[in-house]
């Protein structure tokens, strides 16, 4: 069964709903340019979340340890000066149109998993842009690490994406929102159900 990560959570209510609906991982954005960015003021409710599911701190290019002891994994594009072990990292790759899997075969990635998302200049995720699923399927076949598929996923297309790509996990943010940072309960429920049944 493909696992599900609900990302871009900004409040306790939505996070609790994601957990109750069966999300395997929940993601919290630390990129200041994102409308889904959380802050140190969210510390108290983050502290009281249950130990399951996995909690992921998501960065763009700025990687600083924050909210120590709260997060299980850290996700980002680059790793300057980040002290955590590789087993605690998810390496994000933003794929440009026309790129081939062979462009990445020589890339050394020191992480526990690979996160594939669509590229948009100046934006580190949550764009709603769909990645090339044929590319993603080939990447999954070649990857030595579990692959997390993101990019334009929603309740209507996630089952087909899973059938075609066969990722370890799917990741959604904008595809289940009323507006950036605020989740739609029905869309979140339908997304998780469709992914789990695919």
- State the DSSP string of the chain: --EEEE----SHHHHHHHHHTT-SEEEEE--TTSTTB--GGGHHHHHTS-S-SEEEEE-SS-----STTT-SEEEES--TT--S-GGGEEEEEEEPTT--GGGTTT----SSEEEEEE-BTTB-S---PPP-HHHHHHHHHH-SS-EEE-SS--TTTHHHHHHHH--SEEEESGGGEEETTEE-HHHHHHHHHHHHH-
Q: Going from the N-terminus, what domains does the chain have, and what CATH number goes with each? A: 3-193 (3.20.20.70)
The one catalytic residue among 14, 24, 42, 117: 117
Question: What is the average pLDDT score of the chain?
Answer: 87
179 - beta bridge partners? 182
Predicted pLDDT of residue 76: 84
pLDDT at 86 over 80: no
| Mean pLDDT, residues 177-189 | 95
pLDDT digits (tens, 9 = 90+) for 160-174: 999 999 999 999 999
- Is 121 designated active site? no
The one catalytic residue among 7, 37, 42, 132: 7
Confidence band of 102 (pLDDT split at 50, 70, 90): confident
Confidence band of 34 (pLDDT split at 50, 70, 90): confident
Cα distance from N-terminal residue to C-terminal residue, the chain: 8
Predicted pLDDT of residue 44: 86
pLDDT digits (tens, 9 = 90+) for 137-148: 999 999 989 999
- Is 77 designated active site? no
pTM across the whole model: 0.91
Predicted pLDDT of residue 28: 94
pLDDT digits (tens, 9 = 90+) for 36-80: 999 878 888 998 999 999 999 998 765 565 666 788 988 987 655
């Amino acid at each position: 069964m493909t696992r599900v990560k609900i990302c871009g959570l900004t409040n306790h209510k939505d996070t609790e709903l994601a957990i109750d609906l069966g999300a395997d991982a929940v993601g919290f954005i630390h990129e200041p340019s994102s409308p889904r960015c959380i802050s140190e003021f969210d510390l108290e409710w983050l502290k009281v979340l249950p130990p399951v599911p996995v909690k992921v701190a998501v960065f763009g290019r700025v990687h600083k340890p924050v909210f120590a002891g709260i997060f299980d994994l850290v996700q980002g594009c680059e790793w300057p000066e980040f002290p955590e072990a590789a087993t605690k990292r998810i390496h994000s790759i933003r794929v440009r149109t026309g790129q081939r899997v062979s462009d990445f075969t020589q890339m050394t990635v020191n992480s526990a998993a690979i996160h594939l998302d669509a590229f948009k200049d100046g934006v580190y995720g949550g764009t709603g842009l769909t990645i090339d699923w044929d590319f993603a399927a080939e990447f999954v076949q070649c990857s030595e690490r579990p692959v997390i598929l993101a990019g334009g996923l929603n309740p209507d297309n996630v089952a087909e994406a899973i059938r075609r790509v066969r990722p370890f996990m799917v990741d959604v943010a904008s595809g289940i929102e009323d507006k950036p940072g605020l989740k739609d309960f029905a869309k979140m429920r339908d997304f998780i159900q469709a992914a789990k049944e695919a």
